[in-house]
Structure 1
Amino acid sequence: VAYRLALPPSMSGMHDVFHVSQLRKFIPDSSVTMDLNSIELEPNMTFQPVQFVDRDMRNLRNRSIPMVEVVWEGSPDGKATWELKSKMLKHYSHLF
């Protein structure tokens, strides 16, 4: 038995048929929810980087890709993320 999902046009690239053996019961995890009022977003709904805390070279298919670890202003969990150095340099050169 399989189910065909009615997906919105924005998800047209996703396969819309799933076999019953691939489906699992959804069990909500309350530990991953957050208070929406604690999230501080810019008017354009984005976070702004505060500083770069680390640099690294990641290897992908015999290429070295420079990465930077970014701390984001207003991030609810306070965690930093790894981003492409070239992208961050292009948009936030004042932080380098």
Structure 2
Amino acid sequence: MEQVKLIRERLLTAQSHQKSYSDVRRRDLEFCVDDWEFLKVSPMKGVMRCGKKGNLSPRFIEPYRIVRMVGHVAYELDFPSGLESIHSVFHISMLRKCIGDPSRAVPVEDVQITKELSCEEILVSILDRRVRRLKTKDVASVKVLWRKKNREEVTWETKDGMRSSYPQLF
């Protein structure tokens, strides 16, 4: 009996050590009604979301408003009519605080997405041309000004690739 008591005491000591280690990283989350929260996308094996695989796939999707607190750790979200087939109550671990103004987020309808789930890039102009000498060949490049959504970006592209995509420029 004494050995059983000793084993129980040591188990309790080990449990308290483990609990103290886990409590250091634990944070108590609590959300209020009318807060905006991002919803975690559950990973599904073999499913591509937004055209990206693995680590580059989005973890959270657009912010939704909390309608009511169902339990101590469950919240009901206000989904748009297109998502009415999904249950609207989620555990607190599936939510992430939305910092900032959610009205400034770009609506999905405004973004032009192709069939390959990529955004359309508009070529504005060719800014510069250069030929780079490699060991055995010359590579012709062009500096291209792109417009993506509402911002502009400059990249160097190969001249052959641009000629095949935009023959009217050459």
TM-score by length of 2: 0.31
Q: Among 67, 75, 81, which residue is 2:155 paired with?
A: 81
Taking a change above 3 Å as real, the CA distance of residues 41 and 66 of structure 1, as seen in their structure-2 partners, is farther
Deviations 1:6-27 (A, max 9, x none): xx8878xxxxxxxxxxxxxxxx
Taking a change above 3 Å as real, the CA distance of residues 90 and 41 of structure 1, as seen in their structure-2 partners, is farther
- Higher share in helix: 2
SS at match of 2:145: strand
Root-mean-square deviation (CA), in Å?
A: 2.8
User: Which entry has the higher C-alpha Rg, 1 or 2?
Assistant: 2
Structure 1 vs Structure 2: percent identity of aligned residues? Answer: 25
Structure 2 alignment gaps of length 5 or more:
1-44, 47-52, 55-103
1:58 aligned onto 2:128:
no
Higher relative contact order (CA 8 A, sep 6+): 1
1:36-51 to 2 correspondence within 5 Å? 37=106, 42-44=112-114, 45=118, 46-51=120-125
Conservation of the 8 A alpha-carbon contact between 1:41 and 1:47? no
C-alpha distance in 2 between matches for 1:93 and 1:63: 23
Question: Would you say how many aligned residue pairs link Structure 1 and Structure 2?
Answer: 64
C-alpha distance in 2 between matches for 1:59 and 1:41: 39
Runs (4 or more) in structure 1 with deviation over 4 Å come to 8-11
